[in-house]
Amino acid sequence: TPVSLNLHYAEPFYGEHEWQQLQPAVSEAHRLLHEGTGAGSDFLGWMDLPVNDDQEERTRLENAAAHIRAHADVLLVIGIGGSSLGSKAVISALTHSFHAYLEDKDTPDIIFLGEHLGSDYTAELFDALADKRVYVNVISKSGTTTEPAIAFRFVKSWLEDTCGKEEAARRIYATTDREKGALKTLAHAEGYETFVVPDDVGGRYSVFSPVGLLPIAVAGISISDLLAGGAEARHAFAAEGLRHNPAYQYAAFRYLMYQKGKYIELLSTYEPKLTDFSEWWKQLYGESEGKDGKGLFPASVKFTTDLHSMGQYIQEGRRHLFETVLHIGTSTKEIKIPDMSGNEDGLNYLAGERLHDVNEKAYQGTLLAHTDGNVPNAIVGIERLDAYSLGALIYFFEKACALSGYLLGVNPFDQPGVESYKQNMFALLGKPGYEKQRAELEKRLD
C-alpha cells in the first residue's frame, strides 16, 4: 500500500483478542461510511475527491495557477482552519524550505493570512509587500468567517490603492460556496474568478478540492500526482476487513489506546518540513472527534528538536500518551557529514554518513526508549516526501479519521463547538442583533 502501518512496537500494549473483538465495530463503522448512513453523511464528498473527473473546473484551475505563477511575486492565501491548513501542509512539505530567500525562483512566495487576528503580524505584512506583484486567493466555504473576512478587507483595500480597482479584481481569486455567502456575493459584484467548495465537503476534508488545489498548484506542485496518490489510497484502504486495511488498523489501534486511558496521541515527525502537516492532522482529528465529552487529544512533537524539551515528559511523565510516528523512507536530497581534520568535536566516526541515516538512528533509538518508557508507538510510513505519497497519506488519515469517529460514536463531520467563541466575540464586538448577549457577557467580564 502507498502508506504503511507498523504496529510492532504497540502490540505489547494490547492483546490479540482485544484486536479481534474490534472487527464487528469496524465493520459497522465501515458500513455507515460506505453506505452513507452514518451521522454527518451529507459530508462524504471527500471520499471521491481524488477521482473527481470535472475536467472543465480542473483546466480552469490549472490555467489560473499557471497565470499566477507567471505574474505574481507573492500569492496571499487568505483562509482559516480547513480553508488553509491543508494547502499549507502540502506546500511546506514539498517546496523549498527557504523559498522566500532564494534569488532565482519560478514560483511566487506563498504567504498565509487570515488565520488569526494578530495586529503586529498583519501590519508588518504590508511592509513586506511594497513593490511586490501580489495576487490573492481568498478561501472561505461559508464566506462569513471573521478572521479571513477582516484580512481580506485589509488586502482588498491595499491592493486597490496600489494597482487600481480593475487590476485588483483581476488578481483576486475567490474559493467559496457555489451560490451563497458574503464572499460569493462580493466576488460576483467585483468580478473575481471563483472556484467552488463542494457542498458535501467539510473544511478539514477539503485538501483535494479547489480549496487546497489552487494554492498547491501555484506553488508548482503536481496536483495530478497528489490526486493520483489520493486515488491510490482510496482504492488501497477500501476493504472492510481489519487485516487488509492499514487505515482501519490505525483507527482501531487509536480506539484501543483510548479505551486503555491513553487519552493523548502524539504525532511525531523527524522532518521540519512536516510541521504544518502535523497542524493539519491535529485539526482533522481534534475537530472530528473532540465532542460529546469524548475524543483523544491530538498533539504533535517535532523531533529531534522536542526530544530536548518534551522528550523528558514523554519518557517519564504521566502515562496517558501514545505516539504515532510519521516515518519517511528516504530523503530527497542527500547531505553528508564532513570530515574535520583535528576531530576536535569527536564526531569523525560519523564523517561521510548521510544526515538522513543519522536521523534514522535517532528515530530508532527514540522508538525503543519511548516504548521502554511505556509509550505505545505506531509507525505510519511513506516511501518519500513527494506529491504522490503525500496525497496517499492525506487520504489515509482522512479515511482513518472518519472510521475513528464512528467507532467512538460521534459525528466526525461537524464542529458545533467552534461556534461558542464566535457568538461571544460577535456579542462583545457589538454585532447588531447581539445586544442582549453583550450586556450579559460584559457583566461577567467585570
Binding mask 251-280 for ligand PA5 (x = CB under 6 A): ------------------------------
Residue nearest to ligand PA5 (CB): 203
Asked if 140 touches ligand PA5 (CB under 6 A), the answer is yes
Nearer to ligand PA5, 83 or 300 (CB): 83
Which listed residue (87, 137, 145, 249) binds ligand PA5 by CB under 6 A? 145
With binding defined as CB under 6 A, does residue 146 bind ligand PA5? no
Using CB under 6 A as the binding rule, whether residue 202 contacts ligand PA5 is answered as yes
Active centre residues (catalytic): 287, 422
**Which span sits near ligand PA5 by CB under 6 A: 135-143, 151-159, 260-268, 297-305?**
135-143
* CA separation for the pair 373, 350 (Å, rounded): 28
Whole-number minimum distance, CB 116 to ligand PA5, in Å?
12
β-pair partners for 264: 297, 321
> Which position among 204, 291, 327, 356 is part of the footprint of ligand PA5 (CB under 6 A)?
204
Give min distance, CB of 441 to ligand PA5, in A.
22
Q: What is the DSSP string of 55-96?
A: HHHHHHHHHHHHHHHHH-SEEEEE--GGGTHHHHHHHHHHS-
In angstroms, give the least distance from the CB of 223 to ligand PA5.
20
Place of cell 483546466: 59
Q: b/e for 198-234, b at 16 or more Cβ within 10 A?
A: bebbbbbbbbbbbbbbbbbbbbbbebebbbbbbbbbb
Q: How far is the CB of 297 from ligand PA5 (least distance, A)?
A: 17
Per DSSP, 204 falls in state: G
Nearer to ligand PA5, 182 or 337 (CB): 182
H or E segment to which residue 277 belongs: helix 275-289
Q: Name the minimum Å distance from CB 92 to ligand PA5.
A: 18
Q: Indicate the residue among 107 and 137 with the shorter CB distance to ligand PA5.
A: 137
Considering only residues 286 to 315 of the shown chain, the ones binding ligand PA5 according to CB under 6 A are: 287
Distances from the Cα of 282 to the Cα of 132, 228, 398, 422, angstroms: 34, 24, 12, 20
**Residue closer to ligand PA5 (CB basis): 177 or 323:** 177
The span from the first CA to the last CA of the chain, in angstroms, equals: 58
Give the shortest CB-346-to-ligand PA5 separation in angstroms: 49
Q: Closest CB to ligand PA5 among 255 and 413? A: 413
Cβ closest to ligand PA5, residue 202 vs residue 391: 202
For ligand PA5, the closer CB: 372 or 419: 419
Closest Cα partner for 68 from 214, 218, 248? 218
Helix 146-163 and helix 182-190, axial crossing angle in degrees, nearest 10: 10
Taking CB under 6 A as the binding criterion, the range among 139-147, 229-237, 241-249, 339-347 that sits at the site for ligand PA5 is 139-147
> For residues 46-85, which are near ligand PA5 according to CB under 6 A?
80-83
Closest CA to 272 of 352, 355, 207, 203: 355
The least distance separating ligand PA5 from the CB of residue 66, rounded to whole angstroms, comes to 25
Question: Cell 529531534 identifies what position?
Answer: 304
Q: How many residues bind ligand PA5, per CB under 6 A?
A: 14
Question: Which residues, at least 6 apart from 365, have a Cβ–Cβ distance to it below 8 Å?
Answer: none
- How many C-beta atoms surround the C-beta of residue 154 within 10 A? 16
In the bound complex, what is the minimum distance in angstroms from residue 81's beta carbon to ligand PA5? Answer: 2
Count how many Cα atoms sit within 13 Å of the Cα of residue 217 in the half-sphere of its side chain: 24
> Looking at 58-66, 198-206, 238-246, 430-438, which segment touches ligand PA5 (CB under 6 A)?
198-206
- Nearest in space to 370 (alpha carbons), one of 420, 310, 411: 310
Nearest-approach distance from CB 426 to ligand PA5, in angstroms: 14
Residue (of 370, 45, 403) closest to 246 by Cα position: 403
Is 44 a binding residue for ligand PA5 by CB under 6 A? The answer is no
Work out whether 415 is an interface residue with ligand PA5 (CB under 6 A).
yes
Angle among Cα 259, 264, 267 to the nearest 5 degrees reads 120
Alpha-carbon 430 to chain mean position: 33
Q: Is 40 in the site for ligand PA5 (CB under 6 A)?
A: no
Q: Enumerate residues 6+ apart whose C-beta is below 8 A from 86.
A: 204, 206, 207, 211, 212, 280, 394
Q: Residue 8 or residue 422: which is nearer to ligand PA5 going by CB?
A: 422
Q: Which stretch binds ligand PA5 (CB under 6 A): 87-95, 201-209, 326-334, 433-441?
A: 201-209
- Cα 445 from Cα 422, distance rounded (Å): 16
Only segment of 6-14, 137-145, 214-222, 396-404 that touches ligand PA5 (CB under 6 A) = 137-145
For ligand PA5, the binding residues (CB under 6 A) are 80-83, 140-142, 145, 148, 202-204, 287, 415
